[in-house]
Amino acid sequence: MKSVHVRYFILCLMMSFLACSGTDTIFKTVEKTKLAPPLGLHSVTQNGQIKLMWYTSNYEDDFGGYFVFQADGDLTSQSSDSALGTAFVKVDSVTFNLKDDNNVLVSDEVVSYTRSGLTNGTTYSFAIATFNRKDKKKISYPSNIIKDTPRPDIQTIVLKSASTNQVTGDDLQAGFDFDTFTVKDVPASGYTNTNGVDIINEAFDPSSGGNIRAWLAGMNGGGLQDLGYMNDLDGSDIAPEAGYSEQGKSIAALIGHVYAVKTGENKYGKLIITNISSSDYSIEFNAAFQLQEGNRNYKLVPDDYALGIHK
């Protein structure tokens, strides 16, 4: 019996220490029954930052806004209050006006917040909690926990043809290395064995009427997959697991189409072709690349689509 009291006393001391320490843990002081938690937390992967979105579900008079909590690594398996309390740190707050200019309650609003200054290729976890307008130490249960990994992107990459069989373009700027995000020289002959190049502008095929047909090919164990026409690179949210072309097999390059890329190192990227030139036999595109091996997440999706209310 005495040992039970001792353990209880030690537990109380530990809880007091957590509550009084200087860190802003997710459950420093909680009023769980008074404020509704945020709903539908979702992320959008970007370059060096993560965009977070969630629904408001608050009509309380003492509703003041939201706290943003962040942790390193993948904590999506965590579910208990105690685990959240020790792992997550409050990094920012989002104030929110519950009523509009006419003093009318606002409902079903989507909150958008961008967490910047993050490291590409590093995984982070996030959670959101509602705070009391009069006493910010009082917060709700947290939202669902999500993870995301920022990834780099680049604009206006120009690849010229690698083949001299049909064209007379410059053959020494034909390959692209996703790992370093650089254009690399590829010789017209023997280019299929070029190391460090994931895709190439393989050849142009001039046809009647002065039109040309451009082709891309995956190199060094990599492949491509045409995802179809999209308004911009944001139209593709996650790389497919399968369905990529075999190494060295050509795939037609079409303006406005988004292509998923899987490299020989089991890393995933995407590109959208923005221009095909018949004057210098070049292909221009924008691209994004996920640095973590096997991570197919390079999400860039509209807010309403991500939250399941796409019209």
In tens, the pLDDT along 156-196 reads: 899 888 765 555 455 667 889 988 888 888 877 666 667 78
Confidence of residue 84 (pLDDT cuts 50, 70, 90): low
pLDDT at 91 over 70: yes
For the chain, the straight-line distance linking the first and the last C-alpha, in angstroms and rounded, comes to: 63
| Average confidence score pLDDT of the chain | 76
Report yes or no: 28 and 91 within 8 Å, Cβ to Cβ. no
Helices (runs of H) and strands (runs of E) counted in the chain: 3, 18
The percentage of the chain sitting over the pLDDT mark of 90, rounded to a whole number, equals 23
In tens, the pLDDT along 10-40 reads: 334 333 333 333 344 455 445 555 788 888 8
Residue 73 tokens, joined? 């690594």
- Quick one: CA dihedral 146, 303, 117, 149, positive or negative? positive
Give the start-end residues of each E strand in 133-243: 139-142, 146-148, 153-160, 175-177, 182-184, 199-204, 214-218, 223-229
Question: Measured between alpha carbons, how far is residue 263 from residues 54, 218, 223, 260, 271 in Å?
Answer: 33, 8, 7, 10, 13
pLDDT at 132 over 80: yes
Report yes or no: 287 and 154 within 8 Å, Cβ to Cβ. yes
Alpha-helical regions (H) of the chain: 2-20, 81-87, 303-306
Please state, as a whole number, how many other Cβ atoms lie within 10 Å of the Cβ of residue 37: 20
In tens, the pLDDT along 198-223 reads: 988 876 665 544 556 788 888 888 89
What pLDDT is recorded for position 79? 64
Ranges 17-21, 59-63, 131-135, 238-242: which has the least confidence? 17-21
What pLDDT is recorded for position 33? 55
pLDDT at 155 over 50: yes
Domains and their CATH numbers in the chain: 23-150 (2.60.40.10), 153-289 (no CATH)
β-partners of residue 44 are 51
Mean pLDDT, to the nearest integer, of 108-131? 89
Residue 284 tokens, joined? 């221009």
φ/ψ region of 210 (left if φ > 0, alpha if ψ in -120 to 50, else beta) reads: left
Helix H or strand E encompassing 269 = strand 268-277
Confidence of residue 9 (pLDDT cuts 50, 70, 90): very low
Ranges 6-20, 143-157, 281-295: which has the least confidence? 6-20
pLDDT at 236 over 90: no
The model's pTM: 0.66
What pLDDT is recorded for position 69? 92
